Amino acid sequence: MKTVTILGATGSVGTSTLDLVERSPEAFRVVALTANCDVTRLAAAALRTRAQRAVVADESCLPALREALAGSGIEAAGGEAAVTEAAALGADVTVAAIVGCAGLKPAMAAVKNGGTLALANKEALVSAGEVMNAAVQQSGAILLPVDSEHSAIFQCLDAQLSHRVSRIILTASGGPFRDRTLDEMRGITPAQAVAHPNWSMGAKISVDSATMMNKGLELIEAFHLFPVSADQIEIVVHRQSVIHSMVEYVDGSMLAQLGTPDMRTPIACALAWPDRMATPGERLDLVRVGRLDFEAPDPARFPALRLAREALEAGGARPAILNAANEVAVGAFLKGRVGYLEIAAIVADTLDRCNPPAPSSLDEVLEVDREARALAEERVKDRVA
């Protein structure tokens, strides 16, 4: 039996993880569950799984959580420090599914504890890739990707022959606006942007998919996860979301991982590794799919891809600045404060104005993040004014 902690248990990845864990009670025991402030869903999940501890990041929600868990024997805690403490409890597998840079400290705490980190929080590697990989090396932790694309690469990449890899190809659905012109994109609303054609995801990730910043962040994440150079990672648009990514070897062989667009598949791969576990997802019917299409992404309509690749190539603090500015810009868009096309413009402006030295510790990464957010927020205010 494996022990499991789920950071971000009420989000899309967290609820999918809970679904798998609850289907296999003989295989998993829940140590801790965390959420921001969704007390109702967090308490219900903790009671169902008999978790040892439930934590809300927003400490003002702690009294409600304690009331919901009264008499259950489940420990309730609140605050950002309590979330980090939950991540360090020593579970065999810690699923890091907190969206954004808020998940950085908990993910690092889990790594330092030396267990397996199933990473769904791509921002952790984007903003602090060098720092996190150094911590992994020091602690002996195992880092397993939960993103469908990186899980696909992990499954196709032969660790014994990694030096024989010629290319990694990340596939992208292209999002809901892949056929819109720039002029048509100007009036896009938050409701339209979160309506992904293939995947069920949270609002922020759905907007990132629409702008293709999600794929830019995945480009940076792949660089830190796999032993390849930046110019060995390519992105292609694959509308059907059947092939989740591919690995090409020097002999011309290309291995691909295929499946229906269901996050429970890559989550199950990480939970059960090195074994496999059953999932309830729909099975792939290739006859019904009929065809697989591929095309190059349009850099003019999706400038986020260029910004992300430039940040990766520049290195240092640039990826952390990119991520922080994007979080601010997407948050402003979802609140109706800026337009859809302004997201990439705010990120570009912030990258132009922010140039701190390369961070060498988590605290320095978080300082870069704070500086970039402040500058991005200034740009948001300028546009609102």
Long-range contacts of residues 177-183, Cβ cutoff 8 Å, at least 24 apart:
177/210, 177/301, 178/237, 178/239, 180/301, 181/301, 182/300, 182/301, 182/341
In a domain, 304, yes or no: no
**Planar angle of CA 5, 9, 13, nearest 5 degrees:** 105
Reported residue count of the chain is 385
- pLDDT at position 99, please? 84
Residue 53: strand pairing partners:
32, 75
Among the candidates 237, 269, 299, a domain finishes at 299
Residues 193 and 279 in one domain: yes
Residue 209 has pLDDT above 60, yes or no: yes
Residue 167 has pLDDT above 90, yes or no: yes
Among the candidates 97, 129, 145, a domain finishes at 145
In a domain, 253, yes or no: yes
Contact 319, 127 (CB under 8 A): yes
* Residues 130-158, mean pLDDT to the nearest whole number: 95
Residues 103 and 162 in one domain: no
Residues 177 and 152 in one domain: yes
C-alpha 311/C-alpha 324 separation (Å) is 12
Q: How do residues 287-315 score in pLDDT, each as one tens digit?
A: 999 999 999 999 899 999 999 999 999 99
CATH code of residue 125: 3.40.50.720
Residues 338 and 273 in one domain: no
Say what percent of the chain tops pLDDT 90. 85
Residues 74 and 215 in one domain: no
CATH code of residue 364: 1.10.1740.10
Output phi, psi for 72, to 5 deg. Answer: -90, -20
Residue 385 has pLDDT above 60, yes or no: no
Residues 134 and 66 in one domain: yes
Residues 41 and 170 in one domain: no
Taking alpha carbons only, the member of 21, 44, 172 closest to residue 97 is: 21
Q: How do residues 79-128 score in pLDDT, each as one tens digit?
A: 999 999 999 999 999 999 998 888 999 999 999 988 999 999 888 899 99
Residues 42 and 101 in one domain: yes
Residues 129 and 176 in one domain: no
Contact 13, 39 (CB under 8 A): no
In a domain, 306, yes or no: no
- pLDDT at position 322, please? 97
* Residues 152-175, mean pLDDT to the nearest whole number: 94
* Residues 125-149, mean pLDDT to the nearest whole number: 95
In a domain, 12, yes or no: yes
Output phi, psi for 302, to 5 deg. Answer: -130, 70
Q: Name the residue range of residue 276's domain.
A: 148-299
Residues 337 and 276 in one domain: no
Alpha helices for the chain (secondary structure H)? 12-23, 39-49, 62-68, 80-87, 104-113, 122-139, 148-156, 182-185, 190-193, 203-211, 213-225, 264-272, 286-289, 303-314, 318-334, 342-353, 362-384
Among the candidates 250, 273, 299, a domain finishes at 299
In a domain, 309, yes or no: no
Residues 16 and 78 in one domain: yes
Contact 119, 133 (CB under 8 A): no
- pLDDT at position 384, please? 65
Burial class (CB in 10 A: 0-12, 13-18, 19+), 190: middle
Around 199, how many Cα atoms within 13 Å sit in the side-chain half-sphere? 32
Q: How do residues 312-368 score in pLDDT, each as one tens digit?
A: 999 999 999 999 999 999 999 999 999 999 999 999 999 999 999 999 999 999 999
Strands 28-35 and 53-56: parallel
- pLDDT at position 201, please? 67
User: In 10 A of CB 67, how many CB atoms?
Assistant: 11
Residues 274 and 338 in one domain: no
* Residues 211-240, mean pLDDT to the nearest whole number: 96
Residue 241 has pLDDT above 60, yes or no: yes
Number of compact structural domains in the chain: 3
